[in-house]
Amino acid sequence: PAFQTFLESFKNANSSKWVGFSNYTKAIADPDLRLAFYNTMTWVIIGPVIVTILGLALATMLNKMKRESIPKSLIFMPMAISFVGASIIFKFVYEYNEPSEVQIGLLSSIVKFLGFTPSDWMLSKPLNTFLLMIIYVWTQMGFGMVILSAAIKGVPADIVEASALDGAHGWSLFRNVTFPMVKGTFIVVLATGVVGALKVFDIVRTMTGGNFSTNVLANEMYSQTFVQFDQGKGSALSVVLFLLVTPILIYNIRSLRKERAH
């Protein structure tokens, strides 16, 4: 199937004629596809970084807490929800009614309570893209927390004790001892988040359908192939996504092998 998709990317919409690199050049020239690419890069730059930093912060804060399994379980729980299910939950959070009506959406209710006028959040550009990212962060930060928590617990106690005797405490201990010891795991979690952000589809499809300037490459690939029935352009976009994901996957595998070797 992967090889067939690669071949289809060089054919026309119904795969009846070879068109060379036409699908790729059209994709580059199409302003809507360029917007989808820019949005995807925004997801890649912002989403995984927030997920990984929040995961590390939560793992560090909860590491010494009594009965840490309880808050960790609650934070990890959204990971068990599909992106579609999480999106439906956040549809209620971002629900908007006219200012004269009762606001049933959580975000609109909070904004109104604070004395401001709520807006139709999914129509507010570029805020809507960042609001969609919150769904991704909510579902994925538990994963980062669990992986990084395990890495922090793996830091040798004698190194921590020796550093404490040398006067390293709090932020100094974290910056000079803990983080360097878990840096490899941090990068692996970050790379995994980048792959997830590159192929994000469910959230955008469920919340906006790619409208209101929120489109991403994975959703556009689906639209081209299964809505507009343009097999050529859809296949070209899937090849582009594959090429973007592959280097990160290779790096991730190498990093994991190094971790196991140590």
Confidence (pLDDT) at 176: 81
63, 205 in Cβ contact below 8 A? no
- The amino acid present at 222, given as its one-letter code, is Y
d(CA 224, CA 233): 6
Helix (H, G, I), strand (E, B) or coil at 210: coil
User: Which of 218, 196, 219 is CA-nearest to residue 209?
Assistant: 219
Confidence (pLDDT) at 259: 67
d(CA 218, CA 38): 12
Give the sign of the dihedral formed by CA 43, CA 249, CA 50, CA 201.
positive
pTM over 0.85: yes
Using a CB cutoff of 8 Å and minimum separation of 24, what contacts does 221-230 make?
A: 229/13, 229/14, 230/13
Q: Which residues of the chain have pLDDT under 50?
A: none
Confidence (pLDDT) at 78: 92
**Residue 129 burial (CB < 10 Å; 0-12/13-18/19+)?**
buried
User: Which of 226, 252, 235 is CA-nearest to residue 7?
Assistant: 235
Confidence (pLDDT) at 94: 94
Confidence (pLDDT) at 156: 81
If residue 229 lies in a helix (H) or strand (E), which one and from where to where?
none
